[in-house]
Amino acid sequence: MVKVTMKDGAVKEVEEGVSVLEFVKNFSNSLAKKALAAKIDRKTCDLTTPITTDSKLEILTFDDEDGRWALRHTASHILAQAIKRLYKDQNVMLAIGPAIDNGFYYDIDMERQLTESDLSDIEKEMKKIVKENLPLVRSELPRADAIKLFQEKGEKYKVELIEDLPEDATISLYTQGEFVDLCAGPHVVSTGKVKALKLQSVNGAYWRGNEKNKMLQRIYGTAFEKEDDLKNYLHMLEEAAKRDHRKLGKELDIFSLHEEGPGFPFFHPNGMIIRNELINYWREVHRRYGYQEIKTPMILNRALWERSGHWDHYKENMYFTVIDDVDYAVKPMNCPGGMLVYNTHPHSYREFPLRYCELGIVHRHELSGALHGLFRVRNFTQDDAHLYVTPNQIEEEIQRTINLFDEVYNTFHLKYTAELSTRPENSMGSDEIWEKSTQALQNALENRGLKYIINEGDGAFYGPKIDFHLEDSIGRTWQCGTIQLDMMLPEKFDLTYVGEDGEKHRPIMLHRVVYGSIERFIGILIENYAGAFPTWLSPVQVKILPITDKHADYAYELKKKMFEKNIRVEVDDRNEKTGYKIREAQVKKIPYALVVGDKEIEDNTVNVRRYGEKDSKTVSADEFIANILKEIEEKEDRISE
């Protein structure tokens, strides 16, 4: 017998060699039906995996990310099998077919150029395979035998993948019916588990992401356990398409992207208003929380980046230049420059926590294929802060930082979830430092009572971190804020402070961002609000619409009055019908359109039409101004009302 420790701490005994699925069936048929995969001692595996030693076991369902990935990975194999069945005469060769966030894809090489209309035929065949409920059976072969197998099948891409593995490697395969694929797994137990699927698009993709290689066809799809969940997801995608920040950014004249600078966004006057309002708010919040703002150079020499570790751990993402025969790098991060500022003065424990913040422009090299509007760019403004604390101040300062996050995110009515990211493979520093750092972040989360998940191996190379994922108005999540605990860079830069004992000590540093990237945060807000920004952020807050020319003087008097109170106001005095001007103000998502005619002039009133509302109302001009100033000051959110 072996002992199995469940996620909740319960310990159960089971015969050695029993599969995970058989084990679960012994105590919970309902869980066995929902189970998609498992983790044995934190390693994700199939439900058919035998339990052979005392182990920690976690059962994964569709509610777990790894459970979803197992189901969607199986969906990619179903896709490949369907293509093989349908296009036997097209010399189909399979490349790779992984699960990805929200779905899966498969890269294929075939004579026929697939179109969107072909996807429905493939999808029908996939659903037949699901109905067949084919078991997915894992097997293993020596490397040489696996190469021979796939050579016989004419699968040159699979052969290339295997040949890249060590000669003594054991190769795992998965078989479902007549279909065999090279795969490390894990998968669900049978194709019948993939009850709801949808193919979404077909695009080009270079083999192994290298533009020197052949262009393959990449078919994207998604899969769910339940048809209703799939329908809800597809509805969300339709809504997301309407909110696409690239489309709205152009329509609302916020920003543009140009081939002269791929990944380098251009902000227009409307975009600068939004940007500056976000920055003004950021500065106001940080002043209240005791931060001091600094500014560091954009280009610094190689010696600095070698000292920080970026030259060895981040070089492929950096841009370089040479000045006076010396290598320099354009900064991808603000922290090394911030530490030079720290070292310009001696410091005492009495100053701590010391909080420096910076709106630093950083540049990171992203592959051209990864660029995406404002979400993935090559230069952006990071709203950084570096906090220097003593060991006994760590948790209190993390709690204070989360308080700041709460205030900012609540302003935009954005909820969040937290992830604790642990040590990555390319990290630097000792096991002891990593354990202490990770435990400090975990303690802060648990003592606050904040629910979180652990994201293994996704920390920064210099320390663990807490990431904050924001949920927008249609249920999507975005990673924005982060808190990183760093005991290593202060060592590398020889940062010190004088403690109560009069001796020099090493400070602990917290890196943190709230917006993450101002550019990306603007993109998120465009989509969250569907372009209908709250009044305090709107580039134009009020549009005054005189009915005829004789009402224009009154409109301009109102404009002057509002402008003097810093309300962003315009007059549309074109010789157009009032209904047309109202509709145009709605299209531009202006919070308030004020129609003024004879009656409004006589009574010193305005007829107010609020964006998104059918009915209008008439109020005094002074009352309207007082109300909108209050709305702006309190940063009211139109989504929440």
Active-site residues: which are they?
Answer: 335, 364, 382, 384, 386, 465, 511
The residues facing 21 across adjacent strands are: none
Provide CB contacts within 8 A for 569, sequence distance 6+.
Answer: 540, 541, 542, 543, 544, 558, 559, 562, 563
Residue 321: CA count within 13 A, CB half-sphere: 8
Tell me the two tokens of residue 320.
Answer: 């370089």
Asked if residue 186 has a cis previous peptide bond (ω within 30° of 0), the answer is: yes
Tell me which residue has tokens 């509805």: 235
Distance CA 480, CA 493 (A): 28
Tell me the two tokens of residue 141.
Answer: 């072969």
Q: What angle do CA 105, 520, 537 make, to 5 degrees?
A: 135
427: DSSP letter: -
Output phi, psi for 180, to 5 deg: -125, 135
Helix axes 394-411, 269-288, angle to 10 degrees: 140
Strand, coil or helix: 318: coil
Alpha helices in 289-379 (DSSP H): 302-308, 310-313, 335-342
Which uninterrupted H or E stretch holds 380?
A: strand 379-389
Quote helix, strand, coil % in the chain, to nearest 5. 40, 30, 35
β pairing state of 452-455 and 415-421: parallel
- Write the single-letter amino acid at 200: Q
Alpha helices in 298-387 (DSSP H): 302-308, 310-313, 335-342
Judge contact between 376 and 311, C-beta under 8 A.
no
DSSP string, 193-260: G--EEEEEEEEEEEGGG-TTSPEEEEEEEEEESSHHHHHHHHHHHHHHHHT-HHHHHHHTT-EE--TT
Say how many C-beta atoms besides its own lie within 10 A of residue 333's C-beta.
20
Judge contact between 588 and 540, C-beta under 8 A.
yes
